Amino acid sequence: MKRLLKAILSGALCTLLLAGCAAAEPRASGTPVSSQETEDPFLVMASFHPMLLLTRMVTDGVEGVEVQCMAEANTGCLHDYQLLPGDLRNLQEADLFIINGLGMESFIQQLLDQLPDLAVTDTSAGFAAELDAEASSEHAGHTHQVNGHVWLSVPYAMQQVQAICDALCAGDPVHAQAYQDNTQRALERMQALHEDLEAQLAPLADTAVVSFHDAFDWYHMTYGLNIVQTLSLHEEEPSTRQITELVERIQAEDVAALLVEPYTQEPPAVASMVERETGCPIIVLDPLTRGEEDPEAYFTAMKENAQTLVEALS
């Protein structure tokens, strides 16, 4: 936040200096200058796909702002992401860098060491303490670690959209009204989406499932889906013992499905093995880390995920 403020203040100072120059220097006749045409667009970089979608909800149809994604479209979650030289070059040009926070961008300190003037908006900063407190208290007889995939919990995603709006209004005040109008519309739709998801998923509260990406834990924490165990495949390969224990648990607890993220060719080998051993079917949920760049994709994918769960588990 300090950095953003610093950037805003230096921006304001530049504007004052420029205004001073313009006033002192009589404008040559016959060369009307439109600031709209000559100014570079306000360049916003989103760290990865979910942040791109949430940012585009705010900037949709607004002139003079450009939104790009730092990570390539096929990157997925940023777990273990290594910054590329091209990322640094792109971010150097950016007026604002939108991140998820909560450790998703594990490179952020290294980045700020190299680009100390980069204005960063951490979209989860406003509720990180709340998540910390939740993680240390019990949820239905067990505890959870802080889970960074917050965009899959619509109420938190709404707070992220609001944080993006606030940052854009501060950094690009000329378009503040347009950003606020978009945000209000987006938040109303997200609230309706959240209520739909609650209603659709409530009947599944007693259906046991197993997940292979901790992103989906939010379907448990926000919407009550009974995820009895998560074995994340983006970290180390699970050990034989972990897999054996999981298979035993699936058989003992009458697990109805295995949740995996979309795969390009074959389902992850571990998930396939567990499916063969247990007869428990794989179902694919979209963690929104890849796909269409249109902000509508957020709503479409969240609705499709709920539909998939309802169809597979009802």
Question: Which residues contact Zn ion (rule: CB under 5 A)?
Answer: 77, 139, 215
CB of 264 to Zn ion, least distance (A): 17
Q: Which is nearer to Zn ion, 81 or 299 (CB)?
A: 81
Structure tokens, 62: 């607004």
The candidate with the shortest Cα–Cα distance to 202, out of 126, 306, 308, 121, is 306
CB of 226 to Zn ion, least distance (A): 9
CB of 239 to Zn ion, least distance (A): 20
Q: Which is nearer to Zn ion, 81 or 179 (CB)?
A: 81
CB of 211 to Zn ion, least distance (A): 11
- Which residue has the CB atom at the shortest distance from Zn ion? 77
Q: Which is nearer to Zn ion, 223 or 299 (CB)?
A: 223
CB of 81 to Zn ion, least distance (A): 11
Q: Which is nearer to Zn ion, 63 or 130 (CB)?
A: 130
The per-residue DSSP string of 48-106 comes to SHHHHHHHHHHHTT-TTEEEEESS-TT--S-TTPPPPHHHHHHHHH-SEEEE--TTSST
Between strands 208-211 and 257-260, the pairing is parallel
Structure tokens, 205: 């509260």
Q: Which residues pair with 120 in a beta bridge?
A: 97
Q: Which is nearer to Zn ion, 4 or 210 (CB)?
A: 210
Residue tagged 């648990």 (tokens)? 249
